[in-house]
Amino acid sequence: MTGLQAYLLLSSLLFAIGLAGALTRRNAILVLIGIELMLNAANINFIAFWHYGPATTYITGVMFAIFSISVAAAEAAVGLAIIVAAYRHSHTIDLDSMNSLKG
């Protein structure tokens, strides 16, 4: 197993754990966090590919990670705001009981 493969394996494990969390948790906030973890796993891939890429002077991977972090921050802010608003509406953040579009 090479260095790059180790990183990729770690990131796919992280991705899978994040996915598992997002799929199994009831708490909407934790589902969101699972998705954040998946994004982080992707970031690890970017950085790893940059590091093991042909030339580290091409910093596309780094830039991509930075942009991805920014997007993730925006996503977290809006997602949590939506959850808070939904909680105010239905007094629960249990995803199993939040399956109706009706108010």
Partner 1 sequence: MTWIVRYVCLIPALPMLAAGISALLPQRSRKPAAGLAIVSMAASFALALCAFAAALSNPSPQVFNFSWLQFGDQTLALGWLLDPLTAVMLVMVTFVGLLIFIYSTGYMEHDENFTRFFCFLALFAGGMLGVIIANSLLLLFMCWEIVGLTSYLLIGFWYQNPRAAAAAKKAFITTRIGDLGFLIGMVWLYAQAHTLLFYDSGRGALESGAVSHLAVTTTIYGLTLSSAIGLLIFCGAMGKSGQVPLHVWLPDAMEGPTPVSALIHAATMVAAGVFLIARIYPLMSAHGVEVVTPTIALQVVTWVGAITALFGATVAVAQWDIKRILAYSTVSQLGYMMIGLGVGGPAVGMFHLITHAFFKALLFLGAGSVIHGCSGEQDIRRMGGLRKYMPLTFLTYGIGMLALSGFPLVVSGFWSKDAILYSAHHWSVSQLPFYMASLGALLTAFYMTRQVCYVFFGTLRLPGHGPVSHSEPDSEDTRHHGAGHPHESPAVMTAPLAILAFFAFALGFLGTPLWPWFQSFLNGDHSVAAEHEPGLVATMAASSVIALLGIFLGWLLYGRQSIATCEAPDVLERAQPQTFRVLHQAYFIDAIYDATFVRLTRWTAKLADLLDRFLFHGIVQAISFGVLGLAWVDSFVDNYVVNFGFDSSWRSISMGGRAMAALQGGRVQAYLRYIGLALVALVLYLLWGVAR
Partner 2 sequence: MSISFLIIAVLIVGSTAAAMGLRNPIHCVLTLSITFGGIAALFLQLGAEFVGLTQIMVYVGAVAILAVFAIMMTQSRRGLMLGTFSRNALVGLLTAVAVFSVLGWAVLSQPVAGVTAAVSPVSVQQIGSSLMHEYVLPLELIGLLLTAALIGAIVIAMERKEDTE
**Distance linking the first and last C-alpha atoms of the chain:** 53
Cα–Cα separations (whole angstroms), residue 51 to 20, 45, 55, 58, 87: 28, 10, 8, 10, 43
**By CB under 8 A, residue 90 contacts partner 2:** no
Among 54, 101, 102, 103, binds partner 2 (CB under 8 A): 54
| Secondary structure letter of residue 26 according to DSSP | S
Work out which of 24, 56, 60, 92 binds partner 1, going by CB under 8 A: 24
The one among 14, 31, 48, 72 contacting partner 1 by CB under 8 A = 31
Residue numbers at the binding site for partner 1 (CB under 8 A): 19, 22-24, 28, 31, 95-96, 98-101
